[in-house]
Amino acid sequence: MSTLTDPPKASFRLSQLIYDTRYRSYTIQIVALILIVAAFAWLINNTIENLESLGKDFDFGFLGSAAGYDINQMLIPYDNQMSHGRAALVGILNTLLVAVLGCLAATLIGVIAGVLRLSKNWVVNKLMAVYVEGFRNVPLLLWIILIFAIMTESMPQPREFRGDDATQAMLLDDSVAITNRGIWIPRIGFSNSLSGNEAVAAMDGATPVATGAIDWLVLFGTLAISIVAISFVRKRADRIQQATGVRPVTWYQQLALLVVPFGLVAFFLGLTIVKPFLQGFNFTEGTHLRNSLIALWLALSLYTGAFIAEIVRAGILAISKGQTEAAFALGLQPNRTMNLIILPQAMRVIIPPLISQYLNLTKNSSLAIAVGYMDVRATLGGITINQTGRELEGMLLLGGFYLALSLLISAGMNFYNRSTQLQER
């Protein structure tokens, strides 16, 4: 009687790291990792040696020294005696301002243009085609400079608004002034400011108003709490609808949760609309939107909106025509069909390429230097580097900021993309 036994296991040989498919992939990955680490080590060592030969070291202490230069567009207080770190923060906020405004405007323009490109009206269809092809095929820098030139050369001077013989008039009940130096719009102030800032009178004899960070935090905090409360009301309505089949009327509750707390906080803070007015040779008070900001914002929005329009058009065309025909058979109007059936399904196709457009818009904002808008590229990546001679440190910080911002945008949009995907049971 014979006994079956397992064959003896072969001993491991070094040649298996190359010829055995079980180990070869690990070998390739380890070798690639070693080469990459060696390349980075050589690059870092070479950089250190070059800095030493130039008599420099690697230090970020320059961020604490006085900047010594002015910034023409600011969201937070700043003067030229503050540090380079403060100047960099002002530039970062200016970049974020353009990125947020540009993404919002480009999305709105792109969605509208993409839908209208599918219109059966020949004139509307061709006008949108001209817009899309015109902006997509001309470099963004040219649009920025063109819009800046139009604002600077064709708009009236502030002195034309002065006196009884004025040739120009302010718009919207004397609250908006469009000039060759920019656009002045009203600002929000608080007569009972919590920030402790010294209030400034908007006009002679007017009630002094101030604007502080604490006031805005309280105001937006109240708004955020109201939005959270509204979401709970909607979820409760969803549960009742699922249980009974009847959705309760909650619009008045949502409206009250939004308006009442916000109105009470605004009342106690003394929220006031401060209009700009002409004083001397220029307008004062209000919010000054410089031509550089307007040119950059409009150019980024219109340029990126043209790409988003094609993305939206492709997403809509990806939805079966049977969805539209079924909606029409149920008696839905075309606009309701688009809003309730087509666009929600098309979002799954639209979101992934839309993320790339948001990233491109954010990075393209660095072209602001062409028209003198002081973003982070102009402050940290420009004047600060020129004054301190810290090219390596400045560029590392600048690249790190754009990398962190891009990753944050990608993470947020990917989270939204996952929430719109079909959920399998």
Looking at the DSSP bridge assignments, the partners of residue 258 are none
Q: Looking up tokens 């709490």, which residue turns up?
A: 225
Q: Looking up tokens 């249980």, which residue turns up?
A: 243
CB neighbours of residue 369 within 10 Å: 15
> What pLDDT sits at residue 281?
80
Domains, the chain, ordered by start = 65-161+289-410 (1.10.3720.10), 188-273 (no CATH)
Angle (nearest 5°) at CA 123 between 113 and 346: 30
Contact 214, 230 (CB under 8 A): no
Tens-level pLDDT at each residue, the chain (425 residues): 455 555 556 676 777 777 777 778 888 888 899 999 999 899 888 887 887 787 777 778 888 888 888 888 888 888 889 899 999 999 999 999 999 999 999 999 999 999 899 888 889 999 999 999 999 999 999 999 999 999 898 888 888 888 777 788 888 888 888 888 888 889 888 888 776 554 444 444 444 566 667 888 888 899 999 999 999 998 898 888 888 878 888 888 899 998 999 999 888 888 888 888 888 788 888 888 889 999 999 999 999 999 999 999 998 888 888 888 888 888 888 778 887 788 888 888 888 899 999 999 999 999 988 898 999 999 988 899 998 888 888 899 999 999 999 999 988 888 887 876 666 55
Q: Looking up tokens 């309505």, which residue turns up?
A: 237
H or E, element range at 52: helix 21-53
The amino acid sitting at 295 is A
132 is written with which tokens? 């899309």
Residue 168 vs residues 72, 178, 180, 252: alpha-carbon distances, Å: 26, 9, 12, 44
> What pLDDT sits at residue 200?
46
Q: How many residues does the chain have?
A: 425
The amino acid sitting at 170 is M
CB neighbours of residue 199 within 10 Å: 17
Looking at the DSSP bridge assignments, the partners of residue 46 are none
Torsion sign across C-alpha atoms 279, 284, 288, 292: positive
User: Residue 390 and residue 96: Cα distance in Å, rounded?
Assistant: 24
> What pLDDT sits at residue 422?
62
> What pLDDT sits at residue 118?
86
> What pLDDT sits at residue 308?
94
> What pLDDT sits at residue 205?
42
In degrees and rounded to multiples of 5, residue 212 shows phi and psi of -130, 160
Residue 229 vs residues 84, 101, 207, 248, 299: alpha-carbon distances, Å: 42, 27, 35, 16, 38
417 is written with which tokens? 């993309």
